[in-house]
């Protein structure tokens, strides 16, 4: 059972604070990355080498400038030698960059594939009550958006993060050793300006978002007015709509101009203070060169180093946002992985019933859907269906007919009472073996993308070709299947032939025939079909039902008349039961009324 936790839809890009509590939640994801830790470690080694080697570049560039001025005191001499050394650095760097990207991709692709599979497997095992409480679209985005977010983090973000840290630590150390005075001067000015710029930048982004949101809201007004244009015109409300739109546009202009003002100020700030700060550092560096404290080459190296480091600082904000998002994503993925799947067996020993025809009984069964606990759908229901019997469940819409079949399928468990097949409580049978005893022909047949053959074989994936053809024949589907140029290989669904309602039903019947269930549940279609389809389906169903315990949620009088027994369900109780003949004779009977009012002949 689901734990009934509320799972509010989370907005795209929802972030989490990077605190200890949230990071601890991410540990669950590590289970999936641990098997690939060797690849990760190799990737980290490649990353460290490529980042450190890249940082040798500014140093050697400084030496080449010194060499040009004849003041090079380094052990590598000569412009050509230094140039070749630079080329060598680039070569090593490019090899290790390739390795880093390749190794991180291997690591993240493999570990995220495992996580994806684990999540999908969990989705398949979650109980129906979980699906009642969560929207499928929302769940699919766990598989797509959230895992992609984690994948990006493991492929690039983490690597980038470490690269920036290495650049900052190594860069700061080297410039402090090379040019301590200039480094101190820079540290006293630039970081402060950069921090102010970052905070200012964040504020501007917030303002721009506000403008975007307001623009969207304004567009919604226009959209609404146009969608409801008939109402607007009928109520002669054009002026009202115009003024509503006009007001919103006016507000938008106000917000947009305010945003642009701050953007202008931001650009001026950057030009004056940030560029000014850089000029200040260069000015101080030039005086140090003039005074002979540092060489021209040292100043060049310094400028290169600080450019690299500046890039790293600018990138770190973005990286932290990505990591925060990933914490949110992993939390949402883990929340589902931690849900409990369907309990297979709740008591006793596994005991698959050996009878060929099953009997089904409800003993004092009461049930309310977990999402609507206050509304009891079935109230103390008792009935018995004998082996091989065909029983029709009839009753007004919402009476609880489908609920009975859902309980038999063990999609939900009753709150009170027991459901037995033969003498065995269905909850003490292994879930997989139990469900393999049952065949279902639903009202709305869902075909999966693929061929007709695959769709029929869904009833028994191990079935032979002959068995599939035989099932299609019994289901009166062979003729229309053979009329397609590709026969059983015809693709159905979006990429292939769209089948009619009647054809889909016959595929579903063929599926059920192939499964050869000991208990058949039939949810009769309410929609009327043409006479020929109707005949073919009825005929196929009769073959399927022959000699099999069958429960039919029935809507057609024709079907009901043939049933061995009819249970009339009303307000969650069995109001009447008997054969058509018996029930029809009951004065003021629910069934009699129902036949007169609702059931199609």
> In degrees rounded to 5, what are phi and psi of residue 552?
-115, 125
Cβ contact 297:65 at 8 Å: yes
Give dist(CA 559, CA 563) in Å, integer.
7
The angle at the Cα of 49, spanning 48 to 51, to the nearest 5 degrees, equals 65
Position 411 contacts ligand ATP (CB under 6 A): no
CB of 558 to ligand ATP, least distance (A): 17
* Between 344 and 571, CB nearer to ligand ATP: 571
Position 369 contacts ligand ATP (CB under 6 A): yes
* Integer CA distances (angstroms), 146 to 119, 324, 360, in order: 11, 12, 44
- Name the residue with tokens 């109001």: 575
Position 554 contacts ligand ATP (CB under 6 A): no
CB of 431 to ligand ATP, least distance (A): 19
Q: Is 15 helix (H, G, I), strand (E, B) or coil?
A: coil
Cβ contact 39:103 at 8 Å: yes
Position 230 contacts ligand ATP (CB under 6 A): no
* Between 127 and 400, CB nearer to ligand ATP: 400
CB of 510 to ligand ATP, least distance (A): 24
* Residue of 6, 73, 397, 588 interacting with ligand ATP (CB under 6 A): 397
DSSP 71-108: ---SSS-SHHHHHHHHHHHHHHHHHHHHHHHHHHHHHH
**How many chain residues bind ligand ATP (CB under 6 A)?**
13
Residues in 131-150 at the binding interface with ligand ATP, rule: CB under 6 A: 132
Position 51 contacts ligand ATP (CB under 6 A): no
* Residue of 55, 159, 190, 377 interacting with ligand ATP (CB under 6 A): 377
* Integer CA distances (angstroms), 494 to 188, 235, 304, 459, 482, in order: 64, 43, 57, 21, 20
Give dist(CA 580, CA 558) in Å, integer.
10
Question: Which range binds ligand ATP by CB under 6 A, 104-112, 145-153, 178-186, 366-374?
Answer: 366-374
CB of 565 to ligand ATP, least distance (A): 17
Give dist(CA 82, CA 297) in Å, integer.
13
Position 250 contacts ligand ATP (CB under 6 A): no
* Between 456 and 552, CB nearer to ligand ATP: 552
* Between 61 and 551, CB nearer to ligand ATP: 551
Position 400 contacts ligand ATP (CB under 6 A): yes
Give dist(CA 82, CA 60) in Å, integer.
7
The binding track of 87-126 with respect to ligand ATP, each residue x by CB under 6 A or -, is ----------------------------------------
Position 371 contacts ligand ATP (CB under 6 A): yes
* Between 470 and 570, CB nearer to ligand ATP: 570
CA dihedral 460, 466, 471, 475 (to 10 degrees): 150
- Name the residue with tokens 């099999």: 548
Position 325 contacts ligand ATP (CB under 6 A): no
* Integer CA distances (angstroms), 149 to 13, 157, 332, 575, 577, in order: 9, 10, 12, 55, 57
CB of 365 to ligand ATP, least distance (A): 13
Structure tokens given for 47 = 């990353």
CB of 528 to ligand ATP, least distance (A): 16
Position 398 contacts ligand ATP (CB under 6 A): yes
Question: Which range binds ligand ATP by CB under 6 A, 63-71, 243-251, 309-317, 368-376?
Answer: 368-376
Cβ contact 522:541 at 8 Å: yes
Which residues is 600 bridged to in the sheet? 556
* Between 161 and 591, CB nearer to ligand ATP: 591
CB of 451 to ligand ATP, least distance (A): 31
Question: Which range binds ligand ATP by CB under 6 A, 142-150, 369-377, 459-467, 509-517?
Answer: 369-377
Exposure string over 557-592, b if 16+ CB within 10 A, otherwise e: bebbbbbebbbbbbebebbbebebeebeeeeebbbb
CB of 599 to ligand ATP, least distance (A): 12
Give dist(CA 158, CA 165) in Å, integer.
11
Position 372 contacts ligand ATP (CB under 6 A): yes
* Between 241 and 339, CB nearer to ligand ATP: 339
* Residue of 116, 332, 401, 515 interacting with ligand ATP (CB under 6 A): 401
* Between 377 and 541, CB nearer to ligand ATP: 377
* Between 397 and 527, CB nearer to ligand ATP: 397
The angle at the Cα of 307, spanning 304 to 311, to the nearest 5 degrees, equals 145
* Between 440 and 452, CB nearer to ligand ATP: 440
CB of 523 to ligand ATP, least distance (A): 8
Position 127 contacts ligand ATP (CB under 6 A): no
CB of 433 to ligand ATP, least distance (A): 25
Exposure string over 391-422, b if 16+ CB within 10 A, otherwise e: bbbbbbeebbbbbbbbbbbbbbbbeebebbbb
Instruction: Give contact residues for ligand ATP (rule: CB under 6 A).
Output: 132, 369, 371-372, 377, 395, 397-403
């Amino acid at each position: 059972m689901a734990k009934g936790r509320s799972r509010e839809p989370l907005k795209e890009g929802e972030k989490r604070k990077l605190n200890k509590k949230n990071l601890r939640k991410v540990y669950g994801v590590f289970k999936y990355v641990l098997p690939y830790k060797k690849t990760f470690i190799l990737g980290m080694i490649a990353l460290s080498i490529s980042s450190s080697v890249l940082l040798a570049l500014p140093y050697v560039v400084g030496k080449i400038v010194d060499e040009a001025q004849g003041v090079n005191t380094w052990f590598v001499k000569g412009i050509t030698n230094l140039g070749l050394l630079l080329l060598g650095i680039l070569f090593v760097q490019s090899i290790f960059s390739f390795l880093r990207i390749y190794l991180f991709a291997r690591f993240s692709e493999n570990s995220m594939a495992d996580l994806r599979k684990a999540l999908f497997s969990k989705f398949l095992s979650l109980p129906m009550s979980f699906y009642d409480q969560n929207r499928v679209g929302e769940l699919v985005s766990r598989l797509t958006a959230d895992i992609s977010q984690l994948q990006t983090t493991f492929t690039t973000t983490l690597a980038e993060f470490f690269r920036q840290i290495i650049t900052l630590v190594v860069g700061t150390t080297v410039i402090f050793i090379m040019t301590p005075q200039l480094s101190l001067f820079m540290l006293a000015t630039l970081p402060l300006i950069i921090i102010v710029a970052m905070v200012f930048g964040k504020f501007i982004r917030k303002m721009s978002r506000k403008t975007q949101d307001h623009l969207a809201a304004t567009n919604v007004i226009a959209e609404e007015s146009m969608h409801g244009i008939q109402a607007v015109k009928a109520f002669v409300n054009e002026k009202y709509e115009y003024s509503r739109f006009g007001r919103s546009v006016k507000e938008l202009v106000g917000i947009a101009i305010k945003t642009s003002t701050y953007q202008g100020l931001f650009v001026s700030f950057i030009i004056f203070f940030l560029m000014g700060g850089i000029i200040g550092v260069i000015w101080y560096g030039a005086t140090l060169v003039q005074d002979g404290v540092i060489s021209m080459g040292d100043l060049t190296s310094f400028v290169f180093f600080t450019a690299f480091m500046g890039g790293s600082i600018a990138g770190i904000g973005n990286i932290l946002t990505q990591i925060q998002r990933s914490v949110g994503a992993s939390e949402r993925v883990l929340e589902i992985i931690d849900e409990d799947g369907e309990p297979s067996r709740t008591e006793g020993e596994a005991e698959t019933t050996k009878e060929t025809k099953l009997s089904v009984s409800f003993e004092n069964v009461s049930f309310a859907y977990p999402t609507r606990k206050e509304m009891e759908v079935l109230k103390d229901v008792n009935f018995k269906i004998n082996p091989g019997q065909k029983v029709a469940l009839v009753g007004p819409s919402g009476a609880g007919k489908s609920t009975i079949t859902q309980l038999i399928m063990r999609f939900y468990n009753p709150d009170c009472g027991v459901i037995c097949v033969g003498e065995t409580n269905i909850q003490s049978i292994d879930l997989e073996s139990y469900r393999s005893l049952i065949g279902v022909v639903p009202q709305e047949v869902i075909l999966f993308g693929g061929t007709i053959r695959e769709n029929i074989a869904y009833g028994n994936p191990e079935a032979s070709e002959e068995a599939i053809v035989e099932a299609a024949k019994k289901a009166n589907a062979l003729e229309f299947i053979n009329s397609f140029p590709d026969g059983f290989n015809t693709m159905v669904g979006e990429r292939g032939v769209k089948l009619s309602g009647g054809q889909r039903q016959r595929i579903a019947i063929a599926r059920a025939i192939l499964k050869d269930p000991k208990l058949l549940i039939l949810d009769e279609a309410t929609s009327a079909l043409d006479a020929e389809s109707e005949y073919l389906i009825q005929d196929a169903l009769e073959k399927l039902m022959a000699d099999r315990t069958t429960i039919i949620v029935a809507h057609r009088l024709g079907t009901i008349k043939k049933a061995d027994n009819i249970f009339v369900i009303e307000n969650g109780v069995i109001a009447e039961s008997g054969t058509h003949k018996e029930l029809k004779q009951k004065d003021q009977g629910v069934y009699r009324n129902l036949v007169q009012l609702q059931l199609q002949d």
